[in-house]
Structure 1
Amino acid sequence: MNNNFFNEIERKWQKIWEEKKVFEPSVDESKPKFFLTVPYPYMSGLLHLGNAYTFARGEFIARYKRLKRFNVLWPQGWHITGAPIVSKALRLKEGDEKIIKDLKEDGISEKDWEILKTPEGWAMYFIKLNKEAFKKFGFSIDWRREFYTSYLHPWYNKFIEWQYRKLKEKGLITKGTHPVVWDPKVNSVIGDHDRPDEYAGIEPIEGVIIKFYTKYKEKNIILPCFTLRPETIYGVTNIWVNPNAKYILAKVNNEYWILPNTIVIEELKNQDFNVEIIEEININDLLGKHAKNPLTNEEVPILPAKFVNPEIGTGIVMSVPAHAPYDYIALLDLTKDEKWKDFANKALSSMKSLFKVEGFSEFPAKDIVEKMNIKSQEEIEKLEKATQEIYSKEYYNGILKEIYGKYSGKRIYEIKEDFIKELIEKNIALKYYTLPIRFKSRYGGVCIVKIVKDQWFLRYSDPEWKKLAHECVNQMKFLPEELRQVFHNTIDWYKDWAFTHKKELGTPLPWDPEWTIESLSDSTIYMAFYTISHLITKIPPEKIEDDLFDYVFLGKGDENKLIEKYGEIIKEMRREFEYWYPVDLRTSGKDLIQNHLIFYIFHHVAIFPKEKWPKTIAINGWVLLGGRKMSKSLGNYISMLEASKKHPIDVIRFLLAYAGNTGLDDANIELSLADNIKKELIEWYNFCIENYNKGREEVLLIDKWFENVLNKTIKLAEEKYEKMNFKDVINIVWFDLDREFKWYLRRINNNPNKEVINKYIVYRNTLLYPIIPHITSEILEKIGIDPLSLKWPETEKIDETIISLEDYVKSVRSDIEKILNIIKKKDIKEIKIIVAKREKYEIFKELKDKLKEENLENIVKELINRYKNYSNLIIKVKNNLGLIENLFERDLEIKALEEAKEFLEKEFKAKVIIELEENSFEEKAKNALPGKPAIVLK
């Protein structure tokens, strides 16, 4: 069977689902509802497998919940707000080579380019293609509720206007200043369209300048060290400057600073610093001199490092080699320089460990440099990767050591903002914005960060608003649970947010329409819009006013008057919202924790009553493809549409599930496994069709064992689905269960029980249906089961005795194998398995039963008095209570061995005799114990 087989069943079942409106739920008060949402994707181009991973997680849980008889709603919209779409459309119009190259690589026909030359055309074109991809992937979405953002969808536009008027009424909007990317050459904000494509999306980063003190020409001067990690100030061993850069002495706000003579000066001036250049200096005159750490008062040397970029930050940085790979490797480089080696060795020997991080020693930077075999500052790609890994792990998991005083024992993300605040209050630090890299705009000027005034802000700093957000987090469920504290801490440190931009697609701010509501801020409560999006379009948008949304979402207003104004449909809208809301699950990538998901909570608590607040948030990590970052420039990229042409959809879905579990760890999609999985799925299909309803009627212990395995598998799979640990589901249902089934077949010489084989086929297909629904639906239909009526299997009580009995058979087999290995004989003709005397079982059982209530010593004394011939055995058990852990009735043990006799004979190609100790003439018979028979080989 080739891909055609899969393609046919994909088309068949997707057509059935669509025609029967399987994923278009109605309000049904008799059923529990489950409303899930996945953040709508941005339509700047084709979606790739990394996007598919996050959406597949929503898909898997949606289908699982339907099996559990929930009334499931999964709607989907498209995000087109913001500058990137505008930028790409205009650049295509201008003939930009990079955009043209990207379109060609994505297989976009040149005849379609004309459509893409307007932002509206671009957005609608890629919505169409990405919707096609979602449908090809079999996503169980209610497409009736589809919508897109911005003024291009006037009903959504009205909804966002209502939202922001509500926030303004509540006093949660204010005006203030805001950092923007700026070209001083043309005195203009620089959006994505105004810069080369490779610099799209680069925004100001907020850091801290820490004031180290030194002397220059008898003057007390400041070395302003820019850092993104001010909390590492306790670990500074030296200061870095670039020996090849030009520096100046300047008067900055009445203090003397040393600064690089670069664009940094312009950036400072545009952030309200008063900068007066006094003179050029030779920075080499400061090398080897010392500067004072303003917090610890320690004197640290000023040393040269070529990795310091004089155009970023302040061109001067502090060195923390214990926790920064760049600093550690730069010091190692200096140990090879005769002039600086003593300084470098001293700095390395004085490294301070600041945080305890699981998986690392006292010095994580040293660990990762050695692990990645980094040899010099020239290995920038490796150093960047090492830095990213260390910083991320330390930020979320690093426990602060005693040196931090009141903050010790806490994690960095919990205290960072408070720590910075204290440094600023002590006048040893100040906030500063810069760009992560320098670039020129399309107008030729080098871009900087400027603070602009009269910007509109959401007041996330408001303590009462934060209080409500914390309350929401407290009552929510998080997958994984450890995210709860991350959300609390993020809410705490959030400051006011500039929520309007210019020259972008989006919803104009109702009271100041020259501004547009930016993309993170028009996507906070749109989940509520899903509940009515299929109905509201029946009302002319120009007729809609805030009273409609007040009634539908808040239950306010005179219903009769509103019906007269809008029609009976508003009652249906209110009913839909009341039934479906709140959102039961929001599943997303971890990149949205710091912004969208926090805003999602803030806006819900500001606008909706408590019973409509979000219930659950689930998170997944970033996505790797074949163990590497997904990137077009690296050639490690595949769109959803391209993947759907190369591989069967169920194979891709299988690999998406197998890529990872819920949590912050990154997922890894291994397309190299696709051919193997395809082959295995075909084998599974053939096996099911050929073996359903075939087998013997007689029921053996091993059949009961496998039924228990099935029940355990159902229970385990249910637990994993509920936690959205889909990789675990694959491991349990595909790999582990397959291994157990192969053992079952081996045990019964490929002659399974009919009822057991039927259960196996039906249950396994059902458990896998949420992940691979096309082929499982086809199998179930072929064997006479309607997949549209499928439900999660009911689990029967698990009989641990039956499971333990099979473990017992396995242990007997293992013991025989061990003896054979010891005696090194291959020509065994006979194996005797000798079952212990009944008295031994009585002793073991009495000891086990009485241990629950009585003292061990007393029990032993009593048993020895009654069973004097077994005193040595009783003492042996006393010293090893594990012997009585799995105890069966003697007759059951004998039955298990009798049923396994044929299996053991086949395994060892020898006659097997089951003997009772009291009837045996073998010397070793006396060694037989309950659950541990004596074994004699001849």
Structure 2
Amino acid sequence: MKRYDFSEIETKWQRLWEENKIFQVKADPSKPKYYVLEMFPYPSGRIHMGHVRNYTLGDILARIKRMKGYNVLHPMGWDAFGLPAENAALKHGIHPAKWTYSNIDYMKKQLKKLGFSYDWSREIATCDPEYYKHEQRFFIEMYEKGLAYRKKTLVNWCPTCHTVLANEQVEDGKCWRCGTEVTFKEMDGWFLKITAYAEELLEDLKKLEGHWPEKVIIMQRNWIGKSEGAEIKFYISDIEDNLIVYTTRPDTLYGATFVCISPEHPIARKIAEKKGFLNKLQTFIEKVRKEKREIEAGLAEKEGLFLETYTIHPLTGEKLPLFAANFVLMEYGTGAIMCVPAHDQRDFEFAKKYGLPIKVVIKPKDRDLNPEEMTEAYEDPGIMVNSDIFTGLDSIEGKAKITAYLEEKGLGKKKITYRLRDWGISRQRYWGCPIPMIYCEKCGIVPERIENLPVVLPLDAQIDASGRSPLPNLPEFVNTTCPKCGSPAKRETDTFDTFMESSWYFARFTCPDYTEPFNKEEVEYWLPVDQYIGGIEHAILHLLYARFFTKVLRDLGYFKIDEPFTNLLTQGMVIKETYKCPVHGWVYPEEVSPEGKCLKDGCGEQVIIGKSEKMSKSKCNVVDPDKMIEKYGADTVRLFIAFAAPPERDLEWSDHGIEGAYRFLKRLYNLIIDYSENLKKISYISEDFKNLPNNLLKLRRKLHQTIKKVGEDFEKRLHFNTGIAAIMEFLNLLQDTLKEVSLEKEIVKKVLKECFEKILLILSPVCPHIAEELWKELGHDTFISLEAFPEYDSDLIEEDVFTLVIQVNGKVRDQMEVSVETSKEEIIEIVKERPKIKKYLEGKIIKNVVFVPKKLINFVVA
């Protein structure tokens, strides 16, 4: 008998798929489309098990949709710009471009080894000028529409990476890439006006409900951070100017006892200059900047600097002291707030610290509040008090009433604000897309002409040990002519944030070779992406930016869609237990003896087995996909990945589990090979299966139930694990049945041929190589990958017996197994004679019998 040589089988079918281009796809309006996409990888050098899981899940779905008759787009590419390439260039003395492209070559071979059904003719790399020239065009068009602008601002600065970071790229005060503590730096930079789309980005989350994980929607909603309130004028007589404060609680206006502004507010500087304490203010500003991260996290003590002036309360005329405070952010609202210590805990603590008055203007419905006895602010809604004509109103109603009153008097207006800030896209790094802007002494800032794009990143630039971008020191790159007047001019030397490239790549996959950014017919046919798959870590950064980009490109006339990704699956991590030696720290499993002793350098110390954690080299708990493929084959790896856990849950790696997956495929292979010669020329039609003996009928019924379950689990629910479990269960029944039947009977061969073929068809999305091989062994000369998913017989999947629930006067008294062919009248007579029921019917009159077919019978007696 043939041996299951997975290496030979997988190499063979991967070659045949490629030679026959069976996964290349074109738009076809006559067929329903399905666009499945996994988040494309950064070409870091090698794929890891997290990649394998992500891409396996996507490939199973792509394959089953293809079998279900859809025209499937399933592309792959490379998110190729970014800091790691520069870091590698510094470490290994190799150019980022060479490092990137060599990694792409290696990782592409790894992906092909796994048998993913990608249309490789659509492959893109974002560092290719033919890709990023379109991105430069989008930026210029955004600039012309007022959606891209340059300004001086306080930015997050990573001293290790020598670049600016967006707020979203700062995690717990550290750089998301290298983990260095982030500082603040004032500098010029380019921004995209994502705030112009804040309301639509928020509102359109409703369209994604039920299609995206609720957790992701909540994270985006919180990041956008919409709040409704009022802007109110507080007059400052010392400088004869109005200070505009923003509040979400206009109902507490009468309780304001002081006002705070950001130390960097222009009015703070204006007052300090007039009063002569500018140095004192500047010292306070520097202190606040150093502590900004702690302040934003709510960890810093609240501090203020009295500005030696007062504001005038707009409704009472009271003089309220004005402070510069460390907790007021210039970028939120107006950079100025009214402070109501009785009804805001932060204001309460500040007032207590600086001895400022506390005035109650909202009270609970069941009691009064005494400011002198309060130990904390009362922040809940309630009844308005001490609020002039608004006293007695419910505070919720009072918000609208006071805002309307302020608008009527010209003292304020209703205002909506967002936590979302504009996206800073300037990076002071080399390995990125050049920003296509030019600085001319005569014309100012001028965009490059569209026809001159791309502004190509010079590949002959060398990065020195400091990691600083070489672009500012390359005269051949920097020196140019003004597109407007022709005078000598200078190029922008910043490059784009790499999230720019991943914000629109999904659309370029629809027409990667088109000379213009998009082919209208292609994008209208393929977009939006029907199923997007990737990690939860991209819930804010990438997904929010891609949604924003989609809306901008729509408004620029490129798209008609509002949202890029109809459905989103955030797969769990691949985790594995860790081993830690008290002497050597983290050790690999092979460095631990069966008794749990450390084998490293003959150590012998008892190793501590830790909890399962995300695979990482630093904790020595990685599993190399190449080694697994070499040992077990790609189909086994795919099967284990799909079977070990539901897609959205973390998958715990198990050596025992992957061994079990291998044994299952070997058993399947041996079983079919054992019978294949006898079955090659066997054919069948549905008429052949009438009047089957019970064991074959039971087998066929189980087969068609399995087809139904696998189809629904794989395609609709993405519960690949339960679908695979059903296939395994069926194989057990099949092997048991084979012990009872004789292959000399023609009908047995026909049933067996149907079972083998249909099991291979439904398993092929998970294990395509072995399915192709065994399909051929059964006598077929087609690709199983291009076959239709089998239909199930709806009549056959009905069980021949059902469980009947028996009630008397609505109470369950018994249950029994009943044949589906038993009539209602027969059932009634049988039930009446059952001992458990007979005693409830004796001496009673049966007034009615309620019968629900295949479910229950209820005797109504008196």
TM (normalized to structure 2)? 0.56
Find the counterpart in structure 1 of residue 139 from structure 2.
Answer: 164
- Kept in 1: contact 2:77–2:123 (CA 8 A): yes
In structure 2, the partner of 1:782 is: 777
Contact preservation (8 Å) 1:655, 1:669 = no
Give the unaligned 5+ runs of structure 2: 226-418, 439-491, 578-611, 683-687, 805-815
Select which of 111, 125, 128 maps to 2:105: 128
Structure 2 counterpart of 1:406: none
* Residue type at the aligned position of 1:498: G
User: 1:588 is matched with which residue: 524, 527, 534?
Assistant: 534
Give the structure 2 partner of residue 69 of structure 1.
Answer: 69
Bigger helix fraction? 1
Deviations along 1:599-620, whole A, 9 cap, x unmatched?
A: 1112112212443632222221
CA distance in 2, matches of 1:17, 1:473: 41
Give per-residue Cα distances to partners, 1:490-545, cap 9 Å, x unaligned. 44454332222112311111126321111122211111111221344xxxxxxxxx
1:773 aligns with 2:507: no
The question of whether the paired residues in 2 share the 8 Å contact of 1:653 and 1:771 is answered with yes
Shift of 1:167: 2.9
Partner of 2:633: 648
Which residue does 2:758 correspond to in 1? 763
User: Which residues of 2 match residues 465-504 of structure 1 at below 5 A?
Assistant: 465-468=198-201, 470-471=203-204, 474=207, 478=211, 480=213, 483-492=216-225, 494-504=420-430
Q: CA deviation at 1:843?
A: 6.4
Alignment correspondent of 2:729 = 736
Matched AA of 2:774: I
Conserved 8 A contact 2:49-2:625? yes
Which residue in 1 is equivalent to 2:792?
795
The residue that corresponds to 1:246 in the other structure is none
**Following superposition of structure 1 onto structure 2, how do residues 179-218 of structure 1 map, counting pairs within 5 Å?**
179-182=155-158, 189-191=159-161, 205=170
Q: Distance in 2 between matches of 1:201 and 1:671?
A: 41
Contact 2:157–2:182 (CA<8 Å) still a contact in 1?
yes
**1:119, distance to aligned residue in structure 2 (A):** 0.6
Tell me, yes or no, if the aligned pair for 1:508 and 1:517 is still in contact at 8 Å. yes
Q: Is the CA contact (8 Å cut-off) linking 2:4 and 2:670 kept in structure 1? A: no
Deviation at 1:882, TM superposition (A): 12
Provide Cα deviations, 1:658-680, integer angstroms capped at 9, x if missing partner: 233233x3223334433332232
**Match for residue 686 of structure 1?**
670
Alignment partners' CA distance in 2, 1:657 and 1:145: 26
Describe the shift of the 1:782–1:739 C-alpha distance in structure 2 as closer, same or farther (beyond 3 A). Answer: closer
Per-residue Cα deviation, 1:407-445 (whole angstroms, up to 9, x for no partner): xxxxxxxxxxxxxxxxxxxxxxxxxx56799988xxxxx
- Counterpart of 1:585 in 2: which secondary structure? strand
Aligned twin of 2:184: 450
Aligned to 2:523: 577
For the residue of structure 2 that corresponds to 1:523, the secondary structure is helix
Compared CA separation, residues 435 and 144, structure 1 to 2 (3 A): closer
Percent identity for Structure 1 against Structure 2? 26
- In structure 2, the partner of 1:620 is 571
What is the Cα-based RMSD across aligned positions, in Å? 4.4
Aligned to 1:57: 57
CA distance in structure 1 between the aligned counterparts of 2:189 and 2:121, rounded to whole angstroms = 37
| Aligned position for 2:195 | 461
Q: Distance in 2 between matches of 1:774 and 1:839?
A: 46
- Tell me: CA distance 1:753–1:468, structure 2 relative to 1, closer, same or farther (3 Å): same
Partner of 1:142 in structure 2? 119
Paired position in structure 2 for 1:260: none
Q: 1:12 to 1:882 in 2, by over 3 A?
A: farther
- Is 1:519 aligned to 2:498, yes or no? yes
Structure 1 spans left out of the alignment, 5+ residues? 94-116, 183-188, 195-199, 208-432, 441-446, 537-547, 553-572, 809-832, 849-862, 890-929, 931-938
CA distance in 2, matches of 1:873, 1:748: 47
2:623 aligns with 638
| Residue range with higher mean Cα deviation, 481-490 or 575-584 | 481-490
Aligned to 1:657: 642
User: Contact 1:9–1:778 (CA<8 Å) still a contact in 2?
Assistant: yes
Preserved contact between residue 33 and residue 71 of structure 1 (Cα < 8 Å)? yes
Residue 842 (structure 1) aligns with: 825
Match of 1:508 among 429, 434, 449: 434
- Structure 1 residue 727 displacement after superposition: 3.9
Instruction: Label 1:178 to 1:650 Cα distance change in 2 as closer, same or farther (>3 A).
Output: farther
SS in 2 for 1:508: coil
TM-fit CA distance, 1:792: 0.6
Q: 1:642 to 1:501 in 2, by over 3 A?
A: farther
Q: Which amino acid aligns with 1:466?
A: E
Q: In the aligned structure 2, how far is the partner of 1:700 from the partner of 1:514?
A: 80
**How many Å apart are 1:878 and its aligned residue?**
9.1
1:123, distance to aligned residue in structure 2 (A): 0.3
**Post-superposition shift, 1:180?**
2.8
Distance 2:754 2:83 in 1: 55
Q: Check the 8 A contact 2:56/2:116 in 1, yes or no.
A: yes
Aligned residue for 1:644, secondary structure, equals helix
Q: For residue 22 of structure 1, what is the amino acid of its counterpart?
A: I
Inter-CA distance 759–164: structure 2 relative to 1 (3 Å threshold): same
The aligned amino acid for 1:64 is I
- Letter aligned with residue 573 of structure 2: W
1:165–1:616 CA distance, 2 compared to 1 (3 A): farther
1:670 maps to which residue? Answer: 654
Cα–Cα, structure 1 residues 30 and 56, in superposed 2: closer, same or farther, change >3 Å?
A: same
Change in Cα spacing, 1:147 to 1:840, as seen in structure 2 (3 Å) is closer
1:681 alignment partner, SS class: helix
Does 2:548 correspond to 1:602? yes
- Number of aligned residue pairs: 545
Is 1:717 the equivalent of 2:710? yes
> How many Å separate the matches in 2 of 1:505 and 1:154?
12
Name the CA shift for 1:453/1:792 in 2 (closer, same or farther; >3 Å): same
Q: Is the 8 A contact 1:434 1:448 kept in 2?
A: yes
Deviation for aligned residue 1:9? 0.9
Query: Does the aligned pair in 2 maintain the 1:83–1:192 contact within 8 Å?
Result: no
Contact kept, 8 Å, 1:455 with 1:498, in 2: the verdict is: yes
Cα distance in 2 for partners of 1:834, 1:485 equals 48
Change (3 A) 1:480 1:742: farther
3-state DSSP class of the match of 1:141? coil
